[in-house]
């Protein structure tokens, strides 16, 4: 049985006092079940504080971005080794905001993924179609080609674990969620693509998260779907009680 992975993406939100309050409230919610694994991805300046605030709990900390390069003259960038050095375990790669606002290509996403894996950081590789792509009927082809391009040259991984997130761009921060059935269908397409690249066994064991306006109200129905192994949550992850409710839905789906 795969553990559900529930990941908070705070984007560029939360100050130190809010971070501390979040971890205190989350600890009070006592999500101790081994059925779920929790990850919080704060903004860069707060990663070390988050590692400290989460120490002794079951929450792991992730970054929202990483450089594809090793140490060197890359002003403003952060090396994967720096993230592991301060205790980060995870990193989001290829989030649609990185792709659309900062022009990250599939090739760059692939390089960042390879770099994270090389230092023992678990990447969460995000893919998803825009509204225009969905309306043009190329949802499946879009996620397939994003995966193929990003995974070129990357071997199947269990340690560190390479996790995937399906995030339809039109559902991110819009309040519109893909129906649980439609999200599950696209997850199935992603799993088939992973099977074609890495083989059936690796595809079966890969965890694929759904992201896009997931919240306490819809978490259980999404998590009940056979291909949905967890959630990547933006807006609804900022408040600890909301994040805790979503995590609880992963403990007892339905
Ligand atoms: C995200 O940014 O990864 C996301 C899923 O955001 P939201 O939950 O706010 O749609």
Task: Tabulate helix, strand, coil % of the chain (nearest 5).
Answer: 45, 15, 40
- Predicted confidence at residue 252, as pLDDT, reads 67
Mean pLDDT of 3-12: 98
The span from the CA of 93 to the CA of 104, in Å, is: 10
Q: Ligand 1: which of 99, 213, 228 to mutate, judged by most atoms within 8 Å of the beta carbon?
A: 213
The atom number, within ligand 1, closest to the CA of 171 reads 10
Distance of CA 214 from the midpoint of ligand 1 (Å)? 7
Q: At what angle do helices 240-251 and 16-28 cross, to 10 degrees?
A: 40
- Residue 175 above 90 pLDDT? no
Question: Ligand 1: which residues within 6 Å by Cβ?
Answer: 9, 167, 172-173, 211-214, 232-236
- Residue 108 above 60 pLDDT? yes
Q: Which of 68, 167, 187, 193 is catalytic?
A: 167
Alpha-helix residue ranges (DSSP H) falling in 199-254: 200-205, 216-223, 240-251
In percent, the amount of the chain with pLDDT more than 70 equals 99
CA dihedral (206, 22, 59, 251) positive or negative: negative
The span from the CA of 173 to the CA of 25, in Å, is: 24
- Predicted confidence at residue 177, as pLDDT, reads 83
The atom number, within ligand 1, closest to the CA of 213 reads 10
At the topology level, CATH places domain 4-229 in TIM Barrel (3.20.20)
Mean pLDDT of 145-172: 93
Average pLDDT score, the chain: 95
The span from the CA of 99 to the CA of 15, in Å, is: 25
- Residue 246 above 80 pLDDT? yes
Distance of CA 71 from the midpoint of ligand 1 (Å)? 30
Q: How far apart are the first and last CA of the chain?
A: 17
Per-domain residue ranges for the chain?
A: 4-229
Reply yes or no on whether 95 is catalytic: yes
Q: Is the overall model pTM greater than 0.85, yes or no?
A: yes
Q: Which residue has the higher pLDDT, 252 or 42?
A: 42
Q: What is the DSSP letter of 36?
A: E
Only one residue has tokens 């079951």, namely 58
Over the stretch 209-221, which tens digit does the pLDDT of each residue have? 999 999 999 999 9
Here the tokens at position 56 are: 């002794």
CB-based contact 104:142 (threshold 8 Å): no
């Amino acid at each position: 049985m795969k553990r559900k992975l529930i990941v908070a993406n705070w984007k560029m939100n939360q100050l130190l006092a809010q971070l501390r309050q979040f971890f205190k409230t989350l600890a009070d919610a006592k999500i101790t079940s081994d059925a779920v694994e929790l990850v919080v991805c704060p903004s860069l300046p707060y990663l070390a504080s988050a590692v400290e605030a989460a120490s002794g709990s079951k929450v792991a900390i992730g970054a929202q971005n990483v450089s594809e390069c090793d140490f060197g003259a890359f002003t403003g960038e952060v090396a994967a080794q720096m993230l592991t050095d301060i205790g980060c375990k995870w990193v989001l790669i290829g989030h649609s905001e990185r792709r659309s606002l900062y022009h990250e290509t599939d090739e760059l996403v692939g390089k960042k993924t390879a770099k994270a894996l090389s230092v023992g950081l678990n990447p969460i590789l995000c893919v998803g179609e825009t509204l225009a792509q969905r309306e043009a009927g190329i949802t499946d082809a879009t996620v397939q080609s994003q995966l193929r391009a990003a995974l070129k040259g990357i071997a199947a991984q269990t340690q560190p674990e390479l996790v995937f997130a399906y995030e339809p761009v039109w559902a991110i921060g819009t309040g519109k969620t893909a129906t649980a059935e439609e999200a599950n269908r696209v997850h199935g397409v992603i799993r088939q693509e992973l099977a074609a690249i890495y083989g059936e066994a690796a595809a079966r064991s890969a965890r694929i998260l759904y992201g896009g306006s997931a919240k306490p109200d819809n978490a259980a129905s999404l998590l009940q779907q056979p291909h949905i192994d967890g959630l990547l949550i933006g807006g609804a992850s900022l408040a600890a009680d909301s994040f805790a409710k979503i995590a609880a839905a992963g403990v007892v789906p339905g």
